[in-house]
Amino acid sequence: MTDLIRLMLALLASLLKSRAQLEAENLILRQQVNVLRRRMPRRPALTNIDRLLFVWLYRWFPSIAGSLAIVRPETVLRWHRLGFRAYWRWRSGNRVGRP
């Protein structure tokens, strides 16, 4: 419940600013952080209020759909390492012919 109150206060504060789309994206990211702070054992569980908020914000600002992915920092680091490894395998691959 305190997450919802904190989110509503952030919404009221963001209404005073002129860049509404950027603020809506920040609001989505704040809500995602609130969901992750609940420390669910495996996957973060979304409540009906979370779903309602995401749907409401998507209806008002459909261009923020890209920021609705909840990803752990370890996942981003793993993706980065895999990409780095793939790049250097490609870069140092067997060259055919004479150098």
Question: How do the domains of the chain map onto residue ranges?
Answer: 2-91
Q: Which of 35-39, 68-72, 91-95 has the lowest mean pLDDT?
A: 68-72
More confident residue, 85 or 73: 85
- Please state, for a pLDDT cut of 70, what percent of the chain lies above it: 78
pTM over 0.85: no
Q: Which residues contact 17 (CB under 8 A, 6 or more apart)?
A: 23
- The pLDDT value given to residue 67: 65
More confident residue, 65 or 58: 58
pLDDT in tens, 17-44: 667 777 787 788 888 877 777 766 666 6
What CA–CA distance (Å, rounded) separates 98 from 45? Answer: 58
Please state the length of the chain.
99
- The pLDDT value given to residue 81: 92
What CA–CA distance (Å, rounded) separates 86 from 88? Answer: 6
- The pLDDT value given to residue 1: 66
